[in-house]
Amino acid sequence: MTALDIEARSGAARAGTITTRHGVFRTPAFMPVGTQAAVKALHPDEVRGCGVEILLCNAYHLALRPGVDVVEGAGGLHRFMGWDGPILTDSGGYQLVSLGGVTAIDDEAAVFVSPYDGSRMRVTPEDAVDIQTRLGADVIMCLDHPVAWGAGAGTVTAAADRTHRWAERSRAVHPHDGRLLFGIVQGGFDAALRRDSARTISAMGFDGVAIGGLSLGEPLEVMLDMTEVSVSEIPDELPRYFMGLGTDSELLAAIALGVDMFDCVVPTRLARNGTALTPEGPLNLRNALYREDVRPIDARCDCAACERFSRAYLRHLFAGGEILAHRLVTIHNLTHLSRLMAGARAAISDGSFSKEVALTRGQASPEPG
């Protein structure tokens, strides 16, 4: 029995549910990132109120601070952070790209240098599974080796082969206790390598398959081509997860290719920097244009920011350095993406999803709004 129950289709797009130890979440699904076991600025009840059903936390960062022992001793991530829904943890593979010069890697393990105190942490594929299991995650990820856009062919091939070997080792220590273990596709930006990687990972018997190593600086058309190639080799019955995607047009384009799950720091990071998401594109609320604008961010949105506060007020809060600005726009941006996912599900169910994608692709910023 698979974790994914597909309830509707529109072309390659699917809508359904995924069952975990801490409940069911609907797909397509966007997962806000709680790197440090918190969605920045928000109480868990507020996150839930935005329509969020599943969160992502970063096992690498949590292993460094506060430490696996602390989280495990507190009863696991759910009790520690006060979130009772599903949690997916990332293994730390992405940090091999994002941290770059402060990591080292060989066939046995990855070695990370802590950004907090400079200490070194060596993580094998087996360690990554053990860390995430002890943290109490519902969906755990294999340790993988992504490469950035522009990497040489030899580097890409070696990283994909290493990812496959690490996936086998991760699968061998999976506790089979109801947690879902996802393998990760690599292969850089070479279609043949991607296809082979997706086929290899899919054959290992994972509970789901992630599409890794994309959205790392490549052109949009390359990203979508590599996504389509990857999805073509992932069995229909398995959940498909694109790691690190968070703009409206990209999300809808990937859903149209058959992807079910997404995460990204973009909506919360943009919120802290004064940018609100709308169906027409982003609004920079720090812009003097909104000094006397008494409209809500989006008149169609019923979030806590839009139901009571104006663009002018939010601009004032950002100008004054008030923390409330971060909170309100974060609530809005997460609500916006939850509504986007709900709209995609509804469009898939009634067969109109392809039209939804066509209307949303290529949006530009609506300034002046």
CB of 339 within 8 A of CB of 281?
Answer: no
Please, which residues have CB within 8 angstroms of residue 313's CB and are 6 or more apart in sequence?
none
Question: What are phi and psi for residue 249, nearest 5 degrees?
Answer: -65, -40
307-to-58, 157, 281, 323, 328 alpha-carbon distances in Å:
32, 51, 19, 19, 11
Q: Which residues on adjacent β-strands are paired with residue 15?
A: 8
- Residue of 221, 206, 184 lying closest to 96 (CA atoms): 184
* Residues designated as active site: 90, 263
Question: What are phi and psi for residue 225, nearest 5 degrees?
Answer: -65, -45
CB of 310 within 8 A of CB of 348?
Answer: no
DSSP-assigned letters across all residues of 40-55: TT--HHHHHHTT---E
Write out the two tokens for 142: 């294999």
Write out the two tokens for 62: 């949590």
Please, which residues have CB within 8 angstroms of residue 55's CB and are 6 or more apart in sequence?
31, 32, 33, 34, 39, 47, 83, 85, 86, 87, 88
